[in-house]
Amino acid sequence: MSQEARLLEKQCWNCTTLTDEHFCTSCERIQLLDLSTNYFSFFKLPIKFHLNLKELENKFYELSRKFHPDFFSQASEQERRYSTERTSMLNDAYRTLKEPLKRANYLLRLQGFKAIGQETKTPPDLLAEIFELNEQLEELRYAKKSKDNTLFNTLKTQVLDTEKMLKERANELIYNLNSIFSLWDNLPNNSSLEEKKKLLNNISDILSKIKYINNLLENIEEEFDE
Amino acid sequence: MAYSDKVIDHYNNPRNVGSFDKSATDIGTGLVGAPECGDVMKLQLKINKEGVIEDAKFKTFGCGSAIASSSLATEWVKGKTVDEALQIKNTDIVRELNLPPIKIHCSVLAEDAIKSAVADYRKKQESLVKEEVLQTIS
């Protein structure tokens, strides 16, 4: 995009003041949502993993009020559309940023990762283990269905042990994730591409491991919920 | 999101579910996973001396599309030679099952599973040949 086009895009549609805010700094009219806006920039946050959740929440409520359709019931159709578009992005952005795992995945995508774990292959050991544990859970479902109580109780103890072990591992991985993201957040601006890539690959690798484990944990929880 | 009729059919009546002895020399096992959704898929091929796939079995823990993709893959590889089976592309699976864009990775998983099963089989055959050579020498 040419510099000129970019400038045009950031001009207020109403009074042509240059503005990069949700509302024009001069005439206070709601602005068109720029396509280059991401969830971080929407909240005026730097693209970093660690953020102040309380601040994020406050900002969310503040903006929800400002964009609320009720304020635009008398406005032009254009402004009504801008307010809906901003509300919708606000909700998506908040939902994504407030959850650490969603935020981590989103941050990686912004850095050009198409899909998590694509760069690094899942360790075969982990795959084999996850597969085996899934089979264990399947056996338990079968015992339940065929009303084999003795077998069911034995398997239940095993599965609950598995659950405990998986939760510990997930916590450990999340701890690692936090520390690697601290490195990422504090990378100096002049750090090399390789350095960045190395950290991001590491993060991607951990996220995929967490995904396998959380999937299995969800399935286990589902089994005992009913 | 609605599943296509073909996905639902494979999901309700999956073909060739099960396992072969993974240590047998005529069996190739592929175990693959999709990191973005956490699905795991095991696909096994029983291959005869002529290099023809006589039988195939799978077991998938994942969504309906992943199950359907692997079920379809086992149907397709049966009777094919190993080289023919390697020609199966994930796009063929997408077309046959009408998978939506968000589920394309399930078909990629099935293609990877075939490749990884063949690789496992070939590795076994190579080490068998090596053993035979060693025996003839000694």
Given pLDDT bands bounded at 50, 70 and 90, which one contains residue A20? Answer: confident
What CATH number should be reported for the domain holding residue B115?
Answer: 3.90.1010.10
Contact B82, B60 (CB under 8 A): no
H helices present in B37-103, as ranges: 64-77, 82-86, 90-97
pLDDT of residue A70: 86
B109 Cα to chain A: minimum distance (Å)? 12
| Element (DSSP H or E) covering residue B81 | none
Distance from C-alpha of A16 to C-alpha of A13, rounded to nearest angstrom:
6
Of B31, B38, B61, the CB nearest to A124: B31
Instruction: Please indicate whether residue A63 or residue A112 has the higher confidence score (pLDDT).
Output: A63
Q: What pLDDT does residue B1 have? A: 56
Whether this model's ipTM surpasses 0.95 comes out as no
Task: Nearest chain B residue to A205 by CA: give it.
Answer: B35
Read off the pLDDT of each residue in B31-39 and give the average, rounded to a whole number: 86
**With contacts defined as CB-CB under 8 Å, which chain B residues touch A220?**
none
What secondary structure does DSSP assign to A59-118, as a single string? Answer: HHHHHHHHH-GGGGTTS-HHHHHHHHHHHHHHHHHHHHHHSHHHHHHHHHHHTT-SSTTS
Q: What angle do CA A103, A56, A39 make, to 5 degrees?
A: 45
Residue B85 pLDDT:
96
pLDDT for the residue A190? 86
The model's confidence at residue A1, banded by pLDDT at 50, 70 and 90, is very low
Query: Are A141 and A223 within 8 A, CB to CB?
Result: yes
Residue bearing the bigger pLDDT, B34 or B89: B89
Residues with Cβ < 8 Å from A94, sequence gap 6 or more?
A56, A60
Query: Among A102, A118, A122, which would you mutate to test the B interface (most chain B Cβ atoms within 10 Å of its Cβ)?
Result: A122
- State percent of chain A over pLDDT 90: 64
| Host H or E run for residue B1 | none
pLDDT at B94: 95
Helix (H) or strand (E) holding A191: none
pLDDT at B23: 93
* Cβ separation A127–B35 shorter than 8 A: no
> Tell me, what's the pLDDT at B27?
96
pLDDT, residue B56, reads 97
Q: What is the pLDDT of residues A183-192, one digit of tens each?
A: 999 998 888 8
Q: Is pLDDT at A223 greater than 70 in this prediction?
A: yes
Consecutive H or E run containing A51: none
SS3 A183: helix
Query: How many distinct structural domains can be found in chain B?
Result: 1
pLDDT in tens, B60-96: 998 899 999 999 999 999 999 999 999 999 999 999 9
| Cβ density class B83-99: b for 16+ within 10 Å, e for less | eebeebebebbbebbeb
Domain extent for B89 = 5-137
